[in-house]
Amino acid sequence: MVHDRFTGTAVLDHEQALLLGTLGHVARGSGIDTDARRDHPFVDLGDGFDVVVENGGDVIARYLVRARELAVSAALVEDLAARLAERPGERTSVTTHAAGAGLGIVEAWRGALVHRVELDATGALSRVKIVDPSFLNWPALPVSLTDTIVPDFPLANKSFNQSYAGNDL
């Protein structure tokens, strides 16, 4: 019964997801092969890392992406921890008394999370911008609801699992 209800509900097809610029499990559930861990790496992810993609674009596809990503992430943590144990740590220092800018991109549990930071000449924060993946995924939810019955709205909404606060960042 659950599988039947998840299948074909709140479909966001590949083309729609691509045009809307979706991220994370929403994009991967619609067949878009994107993941900040691989696309913007800061460490070798190893041969075992795999981006989980489903093509259905419906609630079941988003569910399966998240369920399968659990195993991929656990294997990644295990692999990275084993490799980290093999070498000693390195220590670096950062001078914060100079102007500069930086960008950080990570694959958060909802998709790519981006931080942009600028420092003034004294090293103080002069500008900070955070873009939560939900900001880019929200427009896709109403598109997916086009052929979805009203009683399935909570199911569709939870399959996207957006952050309300993330839009205000």
User: For residue 18, which amino acid is it?
Assistant: L
Q: Which residues pair with 118 in a beta bridge?
A: 101, 127
> What average pLDDT does the chain have?
91
- Least confident among 46-50, 85-89, 106-110: 85-89
- CA gap 108, 40 in Å, rounded: 13
Q: pTM for this one?
A: 0.87
Whether residue 131 is predicted with pLDDT greater than 80 in this model: the reply is yes
pLDDT tier for residue 78 given thresholds of 50, 70 and 90? very high
First to last CA, the chain: 39
The pLDDT, as a whole number, for residue 141 is 96
pLDDT tier for residue 140 given thresholds of 50, 70 and 90? very high
Domain extent listing, the chain: 2-95+134-168
Average pLDDT of span 80-97: 78
Average pLDDT of span 112-139: 94
The pLDDT, as a whole number, for residue 133 is 93
Average pLDDT of span 75-104: 84
SS3 assignment for the chain: CHHHHHCCCCCCCHHHHHHHCCCHHHHHCCCCCCCHHHHCCCCCCCCCCCCCCCCCCCHHHHHHHHHHHHHHHHHHHHHHHHHHHCCCCCCCCCCCCCCEEEEEEEEECCEEEEEEEEECCCCCEEEEEEECHHHHHCCHHHHHCCCCCHHHHHHHHHHHCCCCHHHHC
Beta strands at 111-119 and 125-131: parallel, antiparallel or unpaired: antiparallel
Please check whether residue 128 is in contact with residue 102, taking contact to mean a CB–CB distance below 8 angstroms. no
pLDDT tier for residue 13 given thresholds of 50, 70 and 90? very high
